[in-house]
Chains A and B, each alone.
Chain A
Amino acid sequence: MHKPNASQEELAALFRQELVTGVGRSVRHESAAKHVTGEAVYIDDRLEFPNQLHVYALLSERAHARILRIDTAPCYSVPGVALVITSADVPGQLDIGAVFPGDPLLADGKVEYVGQPVLAVAADSLENARRAAQAAIVEYEDLEPVLDVEEALRRQHFVLDSHTHKRGDAAAALAGAPHRLAGTLRIGGQEHFYLETQVSSVLPAEDGGMLVYCSTQNPSEVQKLVAEVLGVPMNRVTVDMRRMGGGFGGKETQAAGPACLCAVIARLTGRPTKMRLPRQEDMLMTGKRHPFLVDYEVGFDDDGRLRGIRMDLAGNCGYSPDLSGAIVDRAMFHADNAYYLGDALIHGHRCKTNTASNTAYRGFGGPQGMLAIEEIMDAIARHLGRDPLEVRRRNYYGKTERNVTHYHQTVEHNLLEEMTAELEASCDYAGRRAAIRAFNARSPVLKKGLALTPVKFGISFTSSFLNQAGALVHIYTDGSIHLNHGGTEMGQGLNTKVAQIVAEVFQVDVSRIRISAANTDKVPNTSPTAASSGADLNGKAAKNAAQTIKERLVEFAARHWHLCPEDVQFRNGQLRLRDRFVSFEELIQAAYVGQVSLSSTGFYRTPKIYYDREQARGRPFYYYAYGVACSEVLVDTLTGEYRLLRADILHDVGASLNPAIDIGQIEGGFVQGMGWLTCEELVWSDQGRLLTANPASYKIPTIADVPADLRVRLVENRKNPEDTVFHSKAVGEPPFMLGISVWCALKDAVASLADYRAQPAIDAPATPERVLWGVEQMKRLKQDTGRVKPAGSGAGRTEIGGVHPLCESGNHE
């Protein structure tokens, strides 16, 4: 920090230097050193309290059944058991649904999925609690389950009403289009697989209150729900969240269950209580990314330009609404991705099935909507015998025309055309396309594929009121700064970025700033750290708090040293007061003695946004983030195995707050998106039990799945034209959808087998098995002279009122 008694020359020299840990610098993650030494404390690492109880929930074995009898008496024969609770023991409200009711803390008379908590046991160890829970007797009477999204859709078995986006007359546009295609696509879900499973630890406090340590993206929601299940006002409950071992959306709503179970048990026993889910229980109990069923009809002209489209996006929501209203909405908002749809009719359905309640996951429905339109782009390209990139570009939103979305927001500051051109050149798309054709011509078994796909992702919570944040800044008399904000750190580097923002305002080194755990006592009524909004919202709130104090300091300094406010300048830990210099510490000391408040809150709400859901029009997004990715894959046509050989990414983060952290988000998002569409497959039994409920059966990418040649760049010199924090852009979710390029490249490799004239019917995820069936389909098409239409057990596509692509004349090469 500050060297005492520095001379004016020394202070002046420091003042001339730039702050190296401010905004725009690749400052290391604030916990990096603690991560690598094991000193970073996660909730399960906290010293346990004396008398600690451990909770284990017995999960339903049935997908849909009435509970006839629960006998908990046998549980008590296991040593160390303190308490067994069922729904009847919850003192306050039983339902912990986040937005809509429907999520009982413990099953209430019936179970609606395999994995639903039926009762909870608290014992002196997790092992004893688990053993005791398994001793309970639960009798069920089976009811008919709905396990399949298609069946739910057919029966109109919904958790919430359907919703429609509409522009123009899609039916007429389809009828009048020179070409029409129709098809279906099944899109798989995704397990979050945060490395730290759901965990909460609760300590009873005075007045019926609770101190709750919870690994959650949404401390205020946990505070509210704990208060509700206990039947106490929210002001009795404090939630503290230092860091999560990953979240990805999975700890937005679904962290609340363990916290509430702990709170109820702590209330009933008076003992500190912890619940950490074993991995398999976590995977059975908690919801995932929504699987989707997409059905579409599209009409287009000879150049592949869209005239009209109808899409039905049916999300498999699981047994309760959770966040599915907004998630299916976001799928609809992103069913255009980067493209002007023409006359459009987009329906979103929220199907109810007897599976875990699907929830937020990075992209929040956006990826599913986007995957559907990317599938359509490829299908059009194959149909017309064009390069898919050409068709994509032809459909890009224009800058001055064709620039209004199907929800009537104008797409401003669209970077995609120039970004696509830049990446196309830097990755040598055309040269590699030619090289791949040559490779495929001489390689009978292995085939290569290439795809360049765009991302346009809308930034803001689509529930407009959530776009608000608070922060709290204190400066202590030694000049050290305490910072708190409403966001949560889950690895994304939010605390580092917010600290850099405050460092920038005060022009002090980031090491002077300490961010404490997110805490509902410090910043109240926070929105979840979600929707990529963490830095946008909390960064602005913290900046506003710091700015408030800085204004007081400037005003004080001007008064104290008899200057105009313009003469007070902050830089690199020093102040210039016209012709003399003082250190930041000296200023703070003087301000304290001068009775200046050195603490302030800050608040921010996003301007400009609104959405009229009745009319399905408005400006739900403050701005869009853009990205483009080009992936090259190698496919084995004998087995369906494949590898990603190279990926080039160009991504837009506006003026980066921290390039190293942003690149980390882009790379991590890309690989997670690739995992969703390739090796990560959720499989359920006929009885509705998740068969892939552990990492032995559910495979997320490993280090070997990442290409040796991965080139990631940020778009340079492109500030966000909107007034965001230092003109940066959000980065959490958008890069996830860059992974779509891998899926499209796999299909490109397979399509090569039929001269790129038919789109292989490969659903997501494109496991080796699905890829092999796509290969078989292409081989049949190639053999056949064209009388057979594409068919497959998976995604299918038929042309309406036209000739099959393989029947059309002409040399496809």
Chain B
Amino acid sequence: MIQFLLNHELRSEHSLDPNLTVLRYLREHRHKTGTKEGCASGDCGACTVVVGELDSVGGRERIRYRTLNACLTFVAALHGKQLLTVEDLQHGGDLHPVQQAMVDCHASQCGYCTPGFVMSLFALRKSVEGSDPAAAHQALAGNLCRCTGYRPILAAAERACADRRPDQFDAAEAETVARLKAIAPRRTAELGDGEKRCLLPLTVADLAALYEAEPEARLLAGGTDLALEVTQQQRSLPVLIHLGHIADMKRIETFDDRLEIGAAAALTDCQDALAREYPDFGELLGRFASQQIRNQGTLGGNIGNASPIGDSPPLLIALGASLLLRKGDRSRTLALEDYFRGYKITAREDGEFIERIIVPRARAGQAFRAYKLSKRLDDDISAVCAAFNLTLADGAVREARIAFGGMAAIPKRATVCERALAGAVLDAALIERACAALAEDFAPLSDFRASREYRLLAAQNLLRRCFIELTEPDIETRVTRHA
């Protein structure tokens, strides 16, 4: 059984197909049709809903509201949380400030994407202190509108966020906190319909035991990739183990020399921690999918699914990150670059899972640059993703760790290029030699995202960009940073 608040109504669901998405649950089981299906793949945001979770800020317990794509979220993820949909925002017959702003700014045309925008705006307004265009871009880049051209929606964001009047959710916050605490999970929960089931353990040890016993189970973290198997490929996932309630796996800890990131930590949370060490990592994660996906998706998941175009692995490999893998009672540490063996093949054994990702902290003399190339700047999949981790001293390259995504069947180090750089004086001639070496490292493929020729030239040019940024910092090199 799982329990959650559907706005203020306590729902106890005993028997549901755990492959059921929140979108279908709302539309087909609860007949709440305000939430729309635009793509069922997490790319359009029409199904955006908000989930409230217990959070504590400065010792004060509060509700943290985050958006997610209902089409990619299985119902089990709602366990212990509050789900808000577009139907819940009106209060006493009045529109919510975000709804009123959308109306006043003429920000809806066909209206089909509008409920999703309203929910993204609602979460944005809850997370910022006032109007903030950069935050609005981040919050809304995962909501597609084909009609308006977005300008009036941005105007609505500005207006709604400038309006700081409390709403009914602020008024009810203490009560909601109490109700969520009352339904907080206390033991491993299970949701099933007789054929399929989903287990929701609370500790790493419980997870390890469950997964060792049922290695054929699918691990469900954010589910933003896994759910596509159900919604796009019509597969049925008979056994799921949901990691979203394991506090230890959501924690991000900072040590003197490293960050330890729980594999189930949301990318939104990783983004903050990693940006502090490596600004380029933060910038790149800002273009990783959408806010909805980053709220839901995890760093462990992005590694675990072993996509050759996952955005975090090249950066983590360049940084020399490693994984803490666990199976039953046994743990081992493995360098991330050794984890990827072939296209979607990894070193993970049956019943073994990623518990944490260990990322070295930034050191003096270290230069880290990361770049992502895609057809669209926001919420697109990389054609090429490049990460350069150079240790510099006295005008020379002491050490180079370089990794690319999109250039091979796995996220992969550019070892020939690294060798060309290591120990040499950093100058233009060296970079040209290193660029030539890249052509030995990679023989990329052509696909609908880019041709092999583009991938190779762009990869070389990204190395050139890195060089310019390190040696001539006054030269502008990124369209994303130009004011």
Contacts and interface: CB of A to CB of B under 8 A. Distances in A.
A564 interface: no
Contact of B479 (A39, A196, A636, A664): A636
Nearest to A663: B106
A490 interface: yes
Interface in B84-126: 85-87, 89-90, 95, 99, 102-104, 106, 108-115, 118
B73 interface: no
A683 B149 contact: no
B376 A638 contact: no
A667 B149 contact: yes
B320 interface: no
Q: Does more than half of chain A's interface fall in helix, strand or loop, or is it mixed?
A: loop
Contacts of A41: 33
A36 B102 contact: yes
Interface string A377-418: 000000000000000000000000000000000000000000
B151 A667 contact: yes
Contact of B468 (A445, A639, A640): A445
A681 B34 contact: no
Given A445-B476, A694-B43, A695-B44, A639 B111 contact: no
Contacts of A247: 110
Contact of B448 (A197, A681, A773): A681
B228 to A, nearest CB: 9
Nearest to B479: A643
B465 A661 contact: no
Contacts of B379: 702
Interface stretch (B59-67, B323-331, B425-433, B454-462): B454-462
B246 interface: no
B86 A702 contact: no
Contacts of B461: 638-639
Interface string B127-157: 0000001001100111111111111111000
Given A195-B38, A245-B36, A772-B457, A37 B89 contact: yes
B56 interface: no
B151 A699 contact: no
B348 interface: no
A692 B35 CA distance: 26
A768 B111 contact: no
B119 to A, nearest CB: 10
Contact of B378 (A664, A696, A702): A702
B207 to A, nearest CB: 30
Contacts of A670: 149
Given A38-B33, A683-B448, A446 B148 contact: no
Contact of B36 (A196, A696, A708): A196
A292 to B, nearest CB: 20
A279 B39 contact: yes
Interface in A1-53: 26, 28-29, 31-42, 44-45, 47
Contacts of B118: 36
Interface class of chain B by DSSP: loop
B34 A39 contact: yes
A706 B99 CA distance: 22
B264 interface: no
Given A37-B87, A699-B380, A194 B110 contact: yes
B419 to A, nearest CB: 23
Given A643-B479, A703-B140, A490 B110 contact: yes
A326 to B, nearest CB: 23
Contacts of A441: none
B33 A641 contact: no
A704 B137 contact: yes
A130 interface: yes
A492 B136 CA distance: 25
Given A193-B146, A706-B150, A492 B112 contact: no
Nearest to B289: A696
A539 to B, nearest CB: 18
B305 interface: no
Contacts of B86: 36-38
A37 B143 CA distance: 17
Contacts of B15: none
B376 A679 contact: yes
A681 B375 contact: yes
A195 B144 contact: yes
Nearest to B34: A38
Give the bracket for the number of chain B residues in contact with chain A: 35 or more
A642 interface: yes
Nearest to A46: B33
A668 B154 contact: no
Contacts of A708: 133
Nearest to B377: A704
Nearest to A47: B31
B145 to A, nearest CB: 8
B258 interface: no
Contacts of A712: 151
Contact of B146 (A44, A194, A444, A694): A194
B103 A280 contact: no
A73 interface: no
Given A279-B41, A641-B377, A703-B150, A636 B111 contact: no
A279 to B, nearest CB: 4
B371 to A, nearest CB: 8
Interface residues of A, number: 91
Contacts of A192: 146
Contacts of B363: none
A142 interface: no
Contacts of B89: 37
A430 to B, nearest CB: 22
Given A45-B33, A638-B461, A769 B144 contact: no
B251 to A, nearest CB: 31
B146 A639 contact: no
B270 to A, nearest CB: 21
B199 interface: no
A490 B374 CA distance: 31
Contact of B482 (A634, A679, A699, A772): A634
A696 B41 contact: yes
B375 A767 contact: yes
The listed residue with most A CB atoms (<10 A of its CB), out of B40, B153, B376, is B376
Contacts of A245: 36, 110-113
Given A35-B114, A194-B146, A490-B110, A28 B34 contact: no
Given A643-B480, A702-B379, A772-B454, A664 B40 contact: no
B376 A697 contact: no
A703 B110 contact: no
A28 B152 CA distance: 13
Contact of B464 (A638, A641, A669): A638
Nearest to B37: A44
Contacts of B477: 445-446, 636, 638
A702 B141 contact: yes
A672 B34 CA distance: 25
Contact of B381 (A246, A660, A669, A696): A696
Contact of A33 (B46, B103, B141): B103
A33 B95 contact: yes
A691 interface: yes
Nearest to B290: A702
A37 B35 CA distance: 10
A446 B476 contact: yes
A246 B380 contact: no
B114 A36 contact: yes
B210 interface: no
Closest 9 CB pairs of A and B: A38-B34, A491-B110, A245-B112, A35-B111, A695-B43, A491-B109, A667-B149, A671-B149, A45-B33
10 contacts: A37-B95, A245-B112, A279-B41, A491-B109, A634-B482, A639-B373, A663-B106, A703-B378, A704-B137, A712-B151
Given A697-B448, A699-B374, 16 more contacts: A31-B108, A35-B114, A35-B115, A36-B108, A37-B95, A38-B86, A42-B36, A194-B110, A195-B46, A247-B110, A639-B462, A641-B373, A664-B106, A702-B378, A703-B378, A768-B383
